[in-house]
Structure 1
Amino acid sequence: MNPPAGVPDFLTAAGWDGAEVRPLAGDASFRRYFRVVEHDRSAILMDAPPPQEDPRPFIAIAEWLTGRGFAAPAILHKDLAQGLVLIEDFGDARLKETVEAAPESELRLYEAAVDLLVRLGEEDAADVPPYDMAVYQREAALLTEWYCPAVGLEVDVQGYADAWRTILLSLTTDSRAVTVLRDYHAENIMLIGGSESLGLLDFQDALAGHPAYDLVSLLQDARRDVPASLETAMLDRYKRTTGAGDAFDVAYHVLGAQRNAKIVGIFTRLWQRDGKPRYAGLCPRVWGYLERDLRHPALKPMADWFDANIPRELRGDPLAIAGA
């Protein structure tokens, strides 16, 4: 985790000459992060190296969010040619660890996170691409492209795509498009400055799509167990506040199944292609959410496909299954 060679000059240009650069945990992409510290101030350095990464979408969505009163990091300095961006430091208090340390805060903080999504849904969508059928299908296909071969399965790929198309068609017209952050979960929601003000991270892949998607991201979190009772309560809170009806329930479970199938595929790819085996170990939790979604009547064609193609004993950690 050594910073790129151009960082000293970049920091000098940004007014942070001589600051200490400390590595922070990376994520599931090519992006890396560092904390820049000088006396009593700090900032976060994002290293988003081209051509693998492009920081411009992050900058655009950050500015869109802050312009509407949401807490996204301020952009302090940028060098797009190098993929370096200096951003506001929201600290280390993530929703995930805060709730783990103080379980009594879970309900209150999840209510705040749901209410933020209600506010986000009241805004016209940002100028971003649509979350359309082609994107849904491409993402869902990651399960058959990566997970199934990893556990030794040959499956009905065309039947899988056909079932998704049948199920997803209803989502393209039944709701006004909103800005979908796409990774709205407990490791990307920050508690700023020791308060319970929620800050947002990791939104560079935002699309204009269905409002249920980010609620699924929050309540079917691949990185922490969200109790089914909390999921039900927060789904009810969102529906009660927005006036959403039964169609929203259907969309929630359809998008839950689509997202979880995608994540199982992505986590398998992170293990096999990118040498990050820890993500494979998160798959059993994601399978649990996926099977919960598949029990919804609207997903019967998809549930039938899973029953016919992926035995239950092969739904889990692909690394463990492959090594068994």
Structure 2
Amino acid sequence: MSGLPDGLEAFVARAGWDGAIVAPLPGDASFRRYFRLTRADGDTAMLMHAPRPHEDPAPFLHVAAWLTANGLRAPQILATDAPAGWVLTEDFGNDRMRDWLDLHPGDETTAYAAAVDALAALHRVPAGPFAPYDMAVYAREAALFTEWYCPAIGLAVDAAGYDAAWHEALAPLLGRQSPGVTVLRDYHAENIMLIGGQAGAPQGLIDFQDALVGHPAYDLVSLLQDARRDVPRELEAVMLDRYRAAMDITGDDFAADYALLGAQRNAKIVGIFTRLDKRDGKPKYLGLISRVWDALERDLAHPALAPVARWFDANIPAAIRHAQGALPA
């Protein structure tokens, strides 16, 4: 087991999986590491290592317990050593929604319909015991754009004006998100497992440790304005209609809030992807910025984003916007 984290063998043995084959899995944009354990009889489990100071598995365990208690499909927890960062869970298999659709593009509508229906089911349950997705969090996330992207592109911008524009634009939304729903915050095709390997299969949820109580449109934006794969505009519209029908939502406010949270999330992601390159040495995410930027521009066109759109017009040169935010080589 050379090259594996210290303490892995001891934890695996305590969990009853001594002798299992340990296979590292590709990492994500965090400091977490994942491994698949395989016993001689073919049984498998997933091992997560989320050590301090950068990670802490306690929130994952907290949210997983709440999701399971409320009838949603989080992985079963098999063993934990939270202080050391170890969590052993049920293995949902290899059928991520993203990978499935790469191989079965004709199943796109079915897969997205199931994902939207799973969100509707989540939102029918009273929100969990999680912190609020309040203005301070929205603004702090949006500020990643001016903190990381703008310096990387060589722009000196009006950061105070940016913050003020977001406060003005988001203020009406905050009044409309009460009492709120559980927001998983990273609900997209790479974090949805198709249990049983079918497009309409039950949705296995992963990467939910940052859950907050906020607006129901946020996870829809995460799903339908996906940073990692193209979602056709027509499909986005159909799935928004599907969600609204399932939740009996009428009026124009929801469309405004969807655009607001789309712009907020996409601005945040541009900042995060830049930070992953500049701070963490992970340049592969830079290639995704153009897709995110395209969605950001579409969101900014909504009248609800007028204060933020004016800031972009005044601070981000047209050449950069026409290049969809690409950083210079």
TM-score bucket (shorter structure):
over 0.9
Q: Which residue of 1 aligns with 2:249?
A: 244
Query: 1:185 pairs with 182, 185, 188, which one?
Result: 188
Deviation, 1:69, is 1.4
Moved segments of 4+, more than 2 Å: 315-318, 320-323
Q: How far apart in 2 are the matches of 1:286 and 1:69?
A: 33
Q: How far apart in 2 are the matches of 1:290 and 1:2?
A: 40
Preserved contact between residue 101 and residue 108 of structure 2 (Cα < 8 Å): yes
**Number of residues paired by the alignment?**
322
Unaligned segments of structure 1, at least 5 residues: none
Mapping of 1:1-324 within 5 angstroms? 2-39=3-40, 40-175=42-177, 176-195=179-198, 196-245=201-250, 246-315=252-321, 321-323=327-329
The share of aligned pairs that are identical, in percent, is 59
Deviates more, 1:258-267 or 1:76-85: 76-85
Q: CA RMSD in A?
A: 1.3
Preserved contact between residue 254 and residue 299 of structure 1 (Cα < 8 Å): yes
Aligned partner letter, 2:302: H
Aligned partner letter, 1:139: E
Cα deviation code 1:105-147 (max 9, x no counterpart): 1001101100111111111111111000000000000000000
Preserved contact between residue 2 and residue 23 of structure 1 (Cα < 8 Å): no
Deviates more, 1:103-112 or 1:179-188: 103-112
Unaligned segments of structure 2, at least 5 residues: none
Q: How far apart in 1 are the matches of 2:93 and 2:278?
A: 32
Deviation, 1:101, is 1.1
Q: How far apart in 1 are the matches of 2:227 and 2:171?
A: 26
Aligned partner letter, 2:211: A
- TM-score normalized by structure 2? 0.95
- Secondary structure in 2 aligned to 1:321? coil
Deviation, 1:7, is 0.9
Deviation, 1:19, is 0.8
Cα deviation code 1:228-272 (max 9, x no counterpart): 111111111111121212111111000000000000000000000
- TM-score normalized by structure 1? 0.97
Deviation, 1:322, is 2.8
Preserved contact between residue 280 and residue 317 of structure 1 (Cα < 8 Å): no
- Secondary structure in 2 aligned to 1:254? helix
